[in-house]
Each structure stands twice: as structure tokens, then as C-alpha cells.
Amino acid sequence: MNLHIENLSKQYRAGVWGLKDFNLELGAGVLGLLGPNGAGKSTLMRMLATITRPTRGSISWNGVDVVKSPDALRAVLGYLPQNFGVYPNLSALEFLEYMAAIKGLDGKAARRRIDELLQVVNLTEAARRPLGGYSGGMRQRVGIAQALLNDPQLLIVDEPTVGLDPEERVRFRNLLADLAGERIIVLSTHIVSDVEAIATDIVLINQGQLLDRAAPEDLLRMLDGKVWQWVVPSAELPALKQNFRVSGAIRRVEGVQVRVVSERAPSAEAQAIAPSLEDVYLHRVGMGAHS
């Protein structure tokens, strides 16, 4: 199982690139695609899902050129797009039957698979209720169930936890973790804790380009000895933000407890602490200093 992406680029109009010269090689596992709004995550995923055509570059699936011959990949692809819409008057069961028909699954086999999937996503009891009355998390679980109908080898899920409350987010994350195994899962998000929990590999992406690709523990190692914490008077915070990359600030009775990413100790009182993936993200994507 191999997905090979080479110099992949998408230009929307003169000067506007959704993705530029992107290279990536993937085997089985969960890839967390992490980047801010507008980074190019959806553009990449839509090209992988064979919905958007690249401007240049190539994608190959087990050696087959996906742009020229998309069918080989489509047959083994599951895709949960961003803003996945549902039909409010259909029940989960009816919706999944409809999707199965579109995907060419036959009657009895389809029904067996749907029953199985409703259990996997824990919706068996709600299966006959109209989707309009479902919570956001339940809808996303229906979305993942439709993406799994054909037992895909490549499962693409675009920002699946947006708008979910913390409990639903954790539940959805656990579900994705359970689905890992002999398949490639590509999960995009701008929520660091989502990928921290389940990704075996992380790609940091910004402005259409790949910044880093590494296992979570290797990303953390990049900042070993470079994350500092201490308490400053509130009045000093704006100046500190001017001079350092502040990755966290928590109000305390005695002042503000700040977290700073810096090569050297930023203050005599600063203590080196263990880096978090959030520090790495803010450091690499460059949003920490003035946010």
C-alpha cells in the first residue's frame, strides 16, 4: 500500500496557489495534516480524493497514476469532506442505503455492511431516527460510516472535529484510532490535540507548503530545552510578546504564567519545561508571537 505525491501543485488563479511543490510518501498508518486556515489542507485532500485536478505534479497509488487513471484509487477510497451535509429527513439507515447504492454495493451485502458500520460508529439505536435531529458528533459518525462502506484502503477525513463539543471530539478521535490498521488514514485539522492523540506521523503545512514531516515524538524533540516557563507581571506581557514567541499565557494571582519558545533562557527566572506539540506547531507555523 503506497501513496506517492510528487511536486503536487494547485493554482487557483494568477498568484494564488492552494498547494505548491508538495512531496510526500505514505504507507499504512494515521497521518495528521496540521496547519492553520488556508494552509492548503483541503486542496491537498480534494486532489487525493480525485475531485480536484492538480495544476502540475503527480499522485500515484501503488504505482498507478491517479490523475490519468483515477478509478483504481476511487475503488478503495473513503472520503469525509469538510462541511459534510446530510439529508435531514432521511434516517441514518436510509442515508447509508442510498450511499451504498451510489457506490454500487449490492442489496444484501450492503445491508450487512451497514449494520456492521452502525455498530462501529455506535449509532445502531439511533439508526431509524431522522438525521435532522442528530447532534454534530452523531452526524460526523454517519459521515465516517458512509466513508467506510467500501472498507477503504485510503481514508481521507477533512477537519472532522470542527464544531464538536469536547466529549464528542474525543469520541470521534477514538473512533478514528480504532479504524487504523492496514489502511492509510489522512486526517486534517488545526486542532493540535486531535492529531497528538492518534497520528503516527504528522505533516505540518502552511501557505501551501510542507514545513515538516515527522513522528510526534521527533517533532517534540526539535524543541527539547527550548521551551521556558515563568511568571511575569501582567504589565510586562506586551513587551515580552514583542521580543519572544509566546506559546501560552495563563493568568495567575501573582501575574501571568508565560510559556516561551526560545533558543536561550529568556529570563533568569525561566525554567526549561517539556515541549508540547502545540509549542512545535506555534513555533513552526509562526503564530505564537502576536496571537
Classify residue 287 as left (phi > 0), alpha (psi -120 to 50) or beta.
alpha
Q: Minimum distance from CB of 262 to ligand ATP (Å)?
A: 28
Q: Minimum distance from CB of 205 to ligand ATP (Å)?
A: 7
Q: Which is nearer to ligand ATP, 18 or 275 (CB)?
A: 18
Q: Minimum distance from CB of 43 to ligand ATP (Å)?
A: 3
Q: Which is nearer to ligand ATP, 95 or 281 (CB)?
A: 281
Q: Which amino acid is at 71?
A: D
* CA nearest neighbour of 158 among 177, 143, 137: 143
CA 252 to chain centre: 33
Q: Which is nearer to ligand ATP, 35 or 78 (CB)?
A: 35
CA 119 to chain centre: 24
Binding stretches for ligand ATP (CB under 6 A): 12, 16, 18, 35, 37-43, 82, 159, 190
Which residues fall within 8 angstroms of residue 20, CB to CB, at 6 or more apart?
9, 208, 209
In angstroms, rounded to a whole number, what is the distance separating the alpha carbons of residues 42 and 189? 10
Q: Which is nearer to ligand ATP, 19 or 110 (CB)?
A: 19
Q: Minimum distance from CB of 212 to ligand ATP (Å)?
A: 16
In angstroms, rounded to a whole number, what is the distance separating the alpha carbons of residues 271 and 94? 58
Q: Minimum distance from CB of 208 to ligand ATP (Å)?
A: 6
Judged on CB neighbours under 10 Å (0-12, 13-18, 19+), 130 is: middle
Contact of 171 with 202, CB cutoff 8 Å: no
Other residues' Cβ atoms within 10 Å of the Cβ of residue 288: 21
Q: Which is nearer to ligand ATP, 79 or 95 (CB)?
A: 79
Q: Which is nearer to ligand ATP, 55 or 257 (CB)?
A: 55
In angstroms, rounded to a whole number, what is the distance separating the alpha carbons of residues 112 and 118? 10
Q: Which is nearer to ligand ATP, 207 or 267 (CB)?
A: 207
For residue 106, which phi and psi values (nearest 5 degrees)?
A: -85, 160
Q: Minimum distance from CB of 137 to ligand ATP (Å)?
A: 19
Q: Minimum distance from CB of 56 to ligand ATP (Å)?
A: 16
For residue 166, which phi and psi values (nearest 5 degrees)?
A: -55, -40
Q: Minimum distance from CB of 16 to ligand ATP (Å)?
A: 5
Q: Which residues pair with 147 in a beta bridge?
A: none
SS3 193: helix
Q: Which is nearer to ligand ATP, 37 or 71 (CB)?
A: 37
SS3 172: helix
